[in-house]
A and B are shown apart, each in its own frame.
Chain A
Amino acid sequence: MTATRPLRAPVASYDTTRALELATARRWLTAAVVTILCLWVLVPIWLVLVNALSTPAEVSGWPKSFLPSFATDSLAFFIGFRGVADALLNSVTVAAITMVLSIAIGAPAGYALARFDFAGKNAFRILVLMTRAFPLPLLALPLAVAYIQVGLDDTILGLAFVHTMLAMPFAVLITASLFMGVPVELEEAAWTLGCTRLQAFVKVVLPLVSPGIAASAVFAFVVSWNEVFAAAVLTIENRTLTAFLLQSLNVSPLHLKFAGAAVLVLPALLFLFAVRKYLFAMWGIANR
């Protein structure tokens, strides 16, 4: 089955044997729970990979095997697809721009929401959220018309703008809750020590929240990576990988469906793996 191993949780050691026994029992319990939760996440992904690495007959056959036969035809079909490399590059570029833009624009707004009381605050908060509450396929038409008229049509940047709009709630609200978690007293202390507001922010607040900011940037990346509708409408020559593959996936034969899903899922997994340190580096601060 999957490659997860039970992971041991360390516990503080006590002197008495009884406490030690209790601790051991708890350690095993934790390990068991963690294993179950990991399996819950990993098994479905494992099954996609099994299907992606099976022959068409095996994919629709019965009963299914839980081990792949390592047939690579279906995967090879996608990897050999003309334009996959370009589409991958486009996807990464759009997602990277989205990541940078959403933080550059969203984090200041998040700070404002966290630290100030001002008229229109809740209105702004709701406005930001509404970008996710409005069906994108309906927004796509007026956007596409405007893009064609303005010349943003079929550009990487134009698509990144739309994705930034979609990632904005994550950027603004997550950074806002991070800033809220930093006690105002810390900043105030810095001011009394002669720091300007900006200096205090850079020296005191930023180090505390930067891992969290990285996390919300990761969200932006993922939002952009998985978005398909706007990408399909607003780009023609500069297709993203998702628009390139995914939109035709649901009508493709079963074995190609899974191979395509695997091709889409794998880069996202690798990306998350690469940035996992940033996603959760905030562990250090809790121990300050």
Chain B
Amino acid sequence: MRRHTTTTSALALLAFAATSGPAPASAQELLFWSTQARPVEEAQGMREEVLSGFEGGSVDYQPQDAGPFITRLRAETEADQGTIAVVGALHGELTAFAEAFMDLSAVDVSAASPALVELGRLGTDEQRYVPWMQATYLMAANRAALEHLPEGADVNALTWDELIAWGRNMADATGSPKIGLPAGPQGLRHRVVQGYLYPSFTDSMVTRFRSDDAVAMWETVRELWEVTHPRSTSYNFMQEPLLADEVWVAIDHTARLADAFNQRPDDFIAFPAPAGPTGRGFMPVVAGIAVPETAPDPEASLALLRYMLEPETQIATLRATNFFPVVDVELPDDMPPSVRAAGAAIALQSGAPDANPGLLPVGLGDLGGQFNQVYVDTFERIVLAGQPIEQVLDDGAAELRRIVTEAGAPCWAPDAPSEGPCPVE
């Protein structure tokens, strides 16, 4: 043959690949397929601090972007055969796969918070996932920002209007906007709109989506945006612009602020989200763990789930990921600065007299992504593209109604419970 040597070496390589190919599946290697703890240091922490203590076998913790995560999980479901032993992801990422997960009623979840256990049923009769860890959104500020606080404002009981005034003071003093929002492609902006703005201004998430209050709210958001750093459309994790001093005041979820507190504990403070006319809206971030129907060794997977819920594991998880336990635990004193800062602010936020907690959407199935997109689109169209508020809200409301009706999802807090699909006024 003309390319004799090439062909030979090709064969040699193929032979090598064949022998080094599928590693002989060690019976006890459990694949933990996750979207959480993706930053390399957190993944390292999960492997070395959290999962190394599991005695039922060695665990291969593989954090993934949403893309590969979803693709692999779907592929295994479609092929009806798989390697994933345990799936870990946010509530919103798990809802689309309710059908693919085993019923976990055999796992004792009595120590976990009942509200979170209920979320894990995904609107069905079976336990599709068990809660794994939780967080919430908080505000973080550089101490340098505090001197610009508007007269009479208490940073621990801030209102949205005061936040805007604060932002204006900072912009005037420094020459550039100093408030940051996580409005980048992977930022959690939809949750800020759903769980913080809407409940604070309309006491609703779905039903009063296009009310007069909502119009007033979006006008406020436009004002806020004027004093918000224009790079916000690229921010995914607020800890980075905070550490770069690009922004001084930001809202994001605790795990995405943690690095700021841990790197420069003396420079940053954490405090509750602002309040609006209808209270201080806030929302949990809940991650769950589930076992696919295709798991190679379901018993071992269940054992790993039980291990993840043990108090010591939960504390180790908190250290590794900055997500808080879902079971009652006594936190030791030597927690990292991010945990201490966030812990105090969370207590203030949920204990505030005007607290208005919201729940995560349930029963939306694989429409959860489109539900979130309505809020993202509304934000981008009104605030970034400057389109007329009423028009955008009409479009969004129609889309919301379609999604909620298609999924048959009843209302959840702060909306009043409904018979049948949650109405959109």
Contacts and interface: CB of A to CB of B under 8 A. Distances in A.
A and B held together in a complex: yes
Interface of A: 56-57, 60-62, 77-78, 81-82, 93, 96-97, 100-101, 103-104, 107, 137, 140-141, 144-145, 147-149, 151, 153-157, 160, 198, 201-202, 206, 229, 232-233, 236-238, 245, 247-254, 256, 260
B68 interface: yes
Interface stretch (B71-79, B104-112, B136-144, B221-229): B71-79
Contacts of B74: 141
Contacts of A148: 75-76, 79, 81-82
Interface of B: 2-3, 6-7, 9-10, 13-14, 16-18, 20-23, 29, 31, 38-41, 43-44, 47, 60, 62-65, 67-68, 71-72, 74-76, 78-79, 81-83, 186, 236-237, 239-240, 243-245, 259, 263
Given A93-B13, A154-B83, 19 more contacts: A57-B263, A81-B40, A101-B10, A104-B6, A104-B7, A137-B71, A141-B75, A157-B14, A157-B17, A232-B64, A232-B65, A236-B60, A237-B22, A245-B40, A247-B64, A247-B68, A248-B38, A248-B65, A250-B186
Ranked nearest first, the 9 interchain pairs of A and B with the lowest CB-CB distance are: A144-B75, A232-B68, A148-B79, A155-B21, A100-B10, A60-B244, A157-B17, A252-B39, A156-B17
A252 B67 CA distance: 17
Nearest to B2: A202
A251 B65 CA distance: 9
Nearest to A234: B72
24 contacts: A60-B240, A60-B244, A62-B244, A77-B40, A77-B41, A96-B13, A100-B10, A103-B6, A104-B10, A145-B79, A147-B75, A148-B79, A153-B22, A154-B23, A154-B83, A156-B20, A157-B18, A233-B75, A237-B29, A251-B186, A252-B41, A254-B240, A256-B41, A260-B40
B78 A145 contact: yes
Contact of A144 (B21, B71, B259): B71
Contacts of A229: 67-68
Q: Which of A145, A154, A249 has the most CB of B within 10 A?
A: A145
Chain B interface helix/strand/loop/mixed:
helix
A60 B6 CA distance: 48
A144 B82 CA distance: 11
A206 B244 contact: no
A251 B72 contact: no
B60 A248 contact: no
A60 B72 CA distance: 35
Contact of A156 (B21, B38, B44): B21
A60 B264 CA distance: 12
A51 B29 CA distance: 37
Contacts of B43: 248
A81 B47 CA distance: 11
B17 to A, nearest CB: 4
B79 A149 contact: yes
B244 A82 contact: no
Given A60-B244, A202-B2, A93 B17 contact: yes
A70 B81 CA distance: 49
Contact of A137 (B18, B40, B63, B67): B67
Contact of A60 (B7, B64, B243): B243
Contacts of B22: 151, 153-155, 237-238
A155 B18 CA distance: 8
Contact of B245 (A62, A145, A202): A62
A190 to B, nearest CB: 14
Contacts of B65: 232, 247-248
A145 B9 CA distance: 30
A97 B17 contact: yes
Contact of B71 (A96, A104, A140): A140
A122 B55 CA distance: 60
A149 B40 contact: no
A217 B75 CA distance: 31
Contacts of B44: 81
Q: Which of A153, A160, A238, A251 has the most CB of B within 10 A?
A: A251
A19 B10 CA distance: 55
B39 A248 contact: yes
A100 B8 CA distance: 10
Contact of A238 (B2, B7, B23, B245): B23
A125 to B, nearest CB: 23
Contacts of B62: 236
Nearest to B237: A251
B3 A253 contact: no
Contacts of B9: 100
Nearest to A232: B68
Contacts of A149: 79, 81
A236 B61 CA distance: 10
A177 to B, nearest CB: 19
A201 B31 CA distance: 51
Nearest to A97: B13
Given A145-B75, A236-B83, A157 B21 contact: yes
A128 B79 CA distance: 28
A62 B243 CA distance: 11
Contacts of B243: 60, 254
Given A60-B243, A100-B6, A233 B71 contact: yes
Given A160-B17, A232-B64, A248 B71 contact: no
A104 B3 contact: yes
Contacts of B6: 100, 103-104
A251 B39 contact: yes
Contacts of B7: 104
Contacts of A153: 22, 83
B335 to A, nearest CB: 19
Nearest to B19: A156
Contacts of A198: 2
A56 B244 CA distance: 10
Q: Which of A60, A82, A93, A249 has the most CB of B within 10 A?
A: A60
